Amino acid sequence: MELNTNAKVGIVGLGLMGTSIATALLINGQKVIALEPIPSNTDQNTPNRILRALEECYREGLSTVPAGDLFKKIKFTSDYTDLKPCWLVMECVLEDLKIKQEVYGKIESSVPDEVIIATNTSAMPISMLQNCLKVPERFFGMHWAEPAYTSKFLEIVCGEKSPLEVGEQLYAVTKKWGKEPTLVRKDIRGFITNRIMYAMYREAFHLVENGYATIEDVDRACKNDGGHWMTFCGLFRYMDLTGLQAYHSVMKDLFPELSNQTTVPKLINEIAKEGGNGIFNGKGFYEYTSEEAKAWESTFEKFKFDINRLSSTYTDKTKDISSLKTKK
């Protein structure tokens, strides 16, 4: 099956991720049809949010085309039949099985059978979701990170019934979108990064809840250890770079002592039950005044462009090193 990737890409759900993904596609030359399933959930700010993100991408050098010109390449709608000219439709609605299932029914009855349908689910198994479709073989996970336009992260995930060769084509297309994608060939809950990150979150709660360290110290340690090298290379390369023998010895002693708790930690349970939502309402693991919340948000925004630039520089350098293998 050959994908006609010159056609448009549809996005269903224009919340945080849907608008961010639309921006990422537009700055990489892809025309977009953006559908909000519940028009009353969006305000007139949704198109504005995309326009502002496009302006920022232009200002920061992520795009060479002025925002106004790119904005002409997106069509907003709430009518599923407008998705007909798409080669790919990406679902970005709430992480709720019933809602996703309803949305798949509407997409499938509006587009031809050869159109690929993908989900941005964070952790629902793709094999389970694809069984909600009439044509399950057309379904894949395409898991983006926020903000989709500065992050090079994208996981393509095959379910049990998704043909691997189509997954490989999606992988190739997303490289053209400026991503450094990964292909998860066999479905697993949480895919690659959420499995790794949640193993870290679990251990972080274990250390704090059992009095070994404060929240501040755990954060500082992660920022200055993993944070110091993770944009440069991944876990396996890092072990090679720093001598894998030491890791081999430590694993024998440390693995049996790591947390393997299977319930949600008490600390996050209590905050979540009281409605805490981090910087969005000032109540999280830290407290924020509205001024502090805004300052964290805008500093993080700036950082994401800076880290994108830094990681691009080093991606080029590591490509040069890899090509040494073939130069004699």
Ligand X SMILES: NC(=O)c1ccc[n+]([C@@H]2O[C@H](COP(=O)([O-])OP(=O)(O)OC[C@H]3O[C@@H](n4cnc5c(N)ncnc54)[C@H](O)[C@@H]3O)[C@@H](O)[C@H]2O)c1
Site for ligand X, rule CB under 6 A? 13-18, 36-38, 41, 92-95, 99, 103, 120-122, 144, 146
Alpha-carbon distance values, 113 to 116, 164, 277, 319 (Å): 8, 18, 40, 39
CB of 131 to ligand X, least distance (A): 17
At 190, phi and psi to the nearest 5?
Answer: 90, -10
Nearer to ligand X by Cβ, of 22 and 58: the residue is 22
Q: Is 34 helix (H, G, I), strand (E, B) or coil?
A: strand
By beta-carbon proximity to ligand X, the closer residue of 87 and 144 is 144
CB 23 within 8 A of CB 57: yes
Residue number, 15 or 278, with CB nearest to ligand X: 15
In whole angstroms, how close is the CB of 229 to ligand X at the nearest point? 23
- When the beta carbons of 70 and 103 are compared against ligand X, the nearer one is 103
Q: Which residues contact 43 (CB under 8 A, 6 or more apart)?
A: none
Q: Closest residue to ligand X, Cβ-based?
A: 15
Q: Is 77 helix (H, G, I), strand (E, B) or coil?
A: strand
Contact call for residues 39 and 78 (beta carbons, < 8 A): yes
Q: How far apart are CA 96 and CA 276, in angstroms?
A: 20
Residue 183: enclosing H or E segment and its boundaries? strand 182-184
Which conformational region is residue 219 in: left (phi greater than 0), alpha (psi within -120 to 50 degrees), or beta?
alpha
Distance CA 239, CA 38 (A): 48
How near is the Cβ of 66 to ligand X at its closest, in Å? 26
**Least Å distance between CB 121 and ligand X?**
5
Taking the complex as a whole, how short is the minimal distance between the CB of residue 96 and ligand X, in angstroms?
A: 7
Is the Cβ of residue 140 or residue 144 nearer to ligand X in the bound state?
Answer: 144
Sequence-ordered alpha helix ranges (H) in the chain: 16-27, 45-59, 67-71, 97-108, 126-130, 164-176, 193-209, 215-224, 226-229, 235-242, 244-254, 266-273, 290-323
CB of 192 to ligand X, least distance (A): 13
Closer to ligand X by CB, 94 or 221: give it. 94
Between 34 and 158, name the residue whose CB sits nearer to ligand X. 34
Residue 327 CB, nearest approach to ligand X (Å): 39
